[in-house]
């Protein structure tokens, strides 16, 4: 009888210890992770990005341009991809003279051409060295489509040129005229150095809707506000 009572007392004393051990085991159970292999996931993402660029699709964050209509200009940055020829592919800036330089192909005029036209021109050059070359050109940075404002405006410097932009719109994009601006004697400088054309612009008349003041700006134009 004493033995049975001893066993019951031992059992009741041990119960809290068993429960505590079970609760500790549950608390230390490792959590499931959603990514079994982070390195593999990173590699897969890189492979997708590389495949996208090889296919001629601009990477995220790059400008969206129509490869059949956009006209390349000086200072633009181009991603040239030659299919299965990584040593010939890469990112190339358009020089001030409008040219780019590629291995084997040499200097090629780029300014004034669309990305599709440039790709065809590069492929034609490479036919001497590669059988049936496939070339894609993507504009990764649009730097040529700019105008400049100097003088009495809110923000002096370059402004991105949008299709059909007028001087009135450009001045608004630059923060408007300052209190000291001579709004009747504003002019636009257009053309290369030494052969510049001076185009007058009357800000007040433009505000009144004068059609003569609707001037379509061109890349490289400089608006001078005295």
Measured CA to CA, the distance from residue 55 to residue 45 in angstroms comes to 16
Q: What is the pLDDT of residue 193?
A: 61
Residue 218: which of 156, 153, 169, 145 has the closest Cα? Answer: 145
Measured CA to CA, the distance from residue 172 to residue 169 in angstroms comes to 5
Measured CA to CA, the distance from residue 53 to residue 12 in angstroms comes to 71
Q: Which domains does the chain have, with CATH numbers?
A: 63-141 (3.30.1950.10), 146-225 (3.10.560.10)
Question: In sequence order, what DSSP letters do the residues of 37-62 get, joined into one string?
Answer: -HHHHHHHHHHHHHHHHHTTPPPTTS
Q: For the purposes of burial, counting CB atoms within 10 Å of the CB of 133, is it exposed (0-12), middle (13-18) or buried (19 or more)?
A: buried
Give 84-143 pLDDT, tens digit per residue: 999 999 999 999 999 999 999 999 999 999 999 999 999 999 999 999 999 999 999 999
SS3 assignment, position 6? helix
Give 174-220 pLDDT, tens digit per residue: 999 999 999 999 999 998 666 889 999 999 999 999 999 999 999 99
């Amino acid at each position: 009888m004493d033995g049975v009572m001893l066993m019951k007392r031992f059992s009741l004393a041990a119960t809290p210890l068993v429960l505590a051990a079970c609760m500790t085991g549950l608390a230390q159970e490792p959590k499931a992770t959603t990514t079994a292999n982070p390195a593999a996931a990173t590699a897969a993402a890189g492979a997708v990005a590389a495949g996208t660029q090889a296919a001629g699709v601009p990477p995220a964050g790059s400008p969206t341009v129509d490869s059949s209509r956009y006209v390349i200009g000086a200072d633009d940055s181009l991603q040239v991809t030659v299919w299965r020829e990584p040593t010939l592919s890469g990112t190339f800036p358009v020089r001030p003279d409008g040219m780019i330089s590629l291995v084997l192909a040499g200097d090629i005029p780029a300014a004034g051409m669309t990305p599709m036209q440039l790709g065809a021109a590069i492929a034609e050059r490479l036919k001497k060295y590669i059988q049936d070359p496939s070339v894609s050109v993507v504009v990764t940075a649009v730097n040529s489509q700019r105008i400049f404002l100097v003088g009495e405006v809110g923000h002096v410097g370059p402004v991105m040129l949008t299709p059909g932009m007028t001087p009135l719109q450009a001045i608004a994009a630059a923060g408007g005229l300052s209190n000291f601006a001579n709004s009747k004697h504003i002019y636009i400088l257009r053309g290369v150095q030494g052969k510049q054309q001076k185009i007058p612009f009357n800000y007040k008349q433009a505000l009144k809707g004068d059609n003569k003041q609707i001037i379509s700006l061109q890349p490289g134009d400089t608006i001078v506000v005295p």
